[in-house]
Amino acid sequence: MMAVRKFHRKERRVLPMPNLVQAQFPPPNGMSAVAKFYGKFSYNDLSGGNAVITDSFERDNIITLKNTGGTGLNLQMHRLVAPLFEVCLKDAMARCPKYKIRMLGGFNVRHMRHDPKMPLSIHSWGAAFDVNWDKNPMGSKLITDLPPEWVAAFTEQCWNWGGSWKGIFDAMHFQYAIGC
């Protein structure tokens, strides 16, 4: 099992980040930083708030993690966050061995909340994932079956959890981006 340095909650953003993240990058802050960091692409809107990328972004950046963490599930993510995701997933599974991951979704080109008037979701860059969405729905109340330690395995490495947002909770959702 990997060693993950633990922070007190308030210190998380100000201390030097754990080796793992330090070796990589802090989460981009805001939509323009997301596009700058993960890459720009052109796209066409489809129905239902979905979209399709029309250039080489997907081919150049999105990779498929097969049987990720031994879950039997495949997940498509951006090449820059996929290694961090896999390390955090393994850590979450080690901390919460009884918690079963039954559903995982990553790269998915669409607008936030499937609303074409909203910005593109971070899923469009492959820098977000959803887990067990049947038990962790989006809504005005926080509903989740995720153990706090499972969530912490990601948030301690600077993943942004939708269950910690204000106004609307998206407990299934984790993204490696802030301010959007």
Binding site for Zn ion (CB under 5 A): 130, 173
Chain position whose Cβ is nearest to Zn ion: 173
Q: In angstroms, what is the minimal distance from the CB of 130 to Zn ion?
A: 4
Q: In angstroms, what is the minimal distance from the CB of 122 to Zn ion?
A: 8
Q: In angstroms, what is the minimal distance from the CB of 64 to Zn ion?
A: 18
Element (H, E) at 95: helix 82-95
Cβ closest to Zn ion, residue 26 vs residue 105: 105
Pairing state of beta strands 75-78 and 62-65? antiparallel
Is residue 159 classed as helix, strand or coil in its secondary structure? coil
Cβ closest to Zn ion, residue 17 vs residue 104: 104
**33, two tokens:** 């930083």
Q: Give the other-Cβ count within 10 Å of 23's Cβ.
A: 10
Cβ closest to Zn ion, residue 94 vs residue 143: 143
**148, two tokens:** 């706090």
